[in-house]
A = this chain, B = another copy of it.
Amino acid sequence: MMMIVGVIGAGQLARMMIPAAVELGIELRVLAEADGMSAGLAAVGVGDYRDRDAVLAFADTVDVLTFDHEHVPQEILRELVDRGVAVHPGPDALLYAQDKLLMREKLTELGLPVPDWARVENSDELAAFLSDHGSRAVVKTPRGGYDGKGVRVVRAADEADDWFAALTEGDALLVEELVDFSRELAQQVARRPSGEIVSWPLVETVQADGVCSEVIAPAPHSAGRLADVARQIAVTVAEGIGVTGALAVELFQTTDGRLLVNELAMRPHNSGHWSMDGSTTGQFEQHLRAVLDLPLGSTEIHDEWSVMVNILGGPVEGTLADRYATAMSQHPSVKVHNYGKAPRPGRKVGHVTAVGDDLDDVTYQARAAAAHFAD
């Protein structure tokens, strides 16, 4: 069978596919944007993902194409499909991860619960939305945002004037109600082209400055109905949009107990890193199985709780490895994942995961181990 998977992008998501690929005998080829990136070990070339010729040439060397990120332009994706390349997820699905306005329209069409939203082309339209929503809202640029970038909370219609001014003709911003939420959750599923879908437990995600800092799996107090609803939402998204590979649906749990869809990620996602150590099949193995249309693995958990804490920034001096001696001696059960990236304030340079049956202890272990890698 076909076993060469090409990954466009060489960040930590591509990197963490390497171990799963090695174990399954899958050849992983990465198209990196530069030398020395996180997944450099598997890089077979350096090229810009917006460069049609570079992407097409890379695609010729692989059986299946997948992604470390969602930014490959639609016209290139569609040309790949036209040329018969197996692209997973495909352009029809990726569209909704690339454009938040289209995503909101599609989720609304699928009957899924989303925050109140509108397409706004100017500050007058934004003012109207604000007046209907208690003079506060979230404005988002439909394309190009991640980790909190391209997202702004506004309380007056002129607070997005710079973004309106930068719009090209026919474009618009997305405005959403500022949701009163008690917590953020994420539901991850994987779907293979022939249709099989599996889901991991619903997880709770904690953000700091718009960046995921911690994930608790399963989400506390999520047994029963809440988990069922979340899973059904993610399955509806995966099937409704035709996602292949891993899909993460970020959710708000509102203060009045509803679930609303926040964002979609059609690739392995930070909210699923815990599964590498806490589930029979980790998200990176599952993504590879899914894009190769192989049967999906069990998402069973072995310990009651997994807590993943991101290493953000890393040490001011030296490398993560310089902290191994203290972190590992004090936390021998914690799994350390080092992305091989140079430390820089706020940058995701690694994560740690602890698993066990006592949530307080697991949380303590993961946070304390991660703290060894910060200054």
Chain B nearest Cβ from A77, distance in angstroms: 27
B324 contacts A1, C-beta separation under 8 Å: yes
The 4 closest A-B pairs by CB, nearest first: A19-B19, A25-B338, A295-B329, A295-B328
Which positions in A face B, CB cutoff 8 Å? 1, 3, 15-16, 18-20, 22-26, 41, 280-281, 289, 294-298, 300, 302-303, 319-322, 324-325, 328-329, 332-333, 335-340, 350, 355
Q: Summarize A's interface: helix, strand, loop or mixed.
A: mixed
| A26 to B15 CA separation, bound complex (whole angstroms) | 13
B1 contacts A321, C-beta separation under 8 Å: yes
A339 contacts B280, C-beta separation under 8 Å: no
Closest to A323 in B: B1
Can you tell how many copies of this chain the complex includes?
2
Residue among B18, B333, B340 making CB contact with A280, cutoff 8 Å: B333
A324 contacts B294, C-beta separation under 8 Å: yes
B19 contacts A321, C-beta separation under 8 Å: no
B25 contacts A320, C-beta separation under 8 Å: yes
B295 contacts A325, C-beta separation under 8 Å: yes
Chain B nearest Cβ from A207, distance in angstroms: 24
B23 contacts A336, C-beta separation under 8 Å: yes
| A329 to B25 CA separation, bound complex (whole angstroms) | 18
Residue among B280, B328, B333 making CB contact with A289, cutoff 8 Å: B328
| A112 to B350 CA separation, bound complex (whole angstroms) | 44
Chain B nearest Cβ from A290, distance in angstroms: 12
- A26 — which chain B residues lie within 8 A by C-beta? 321
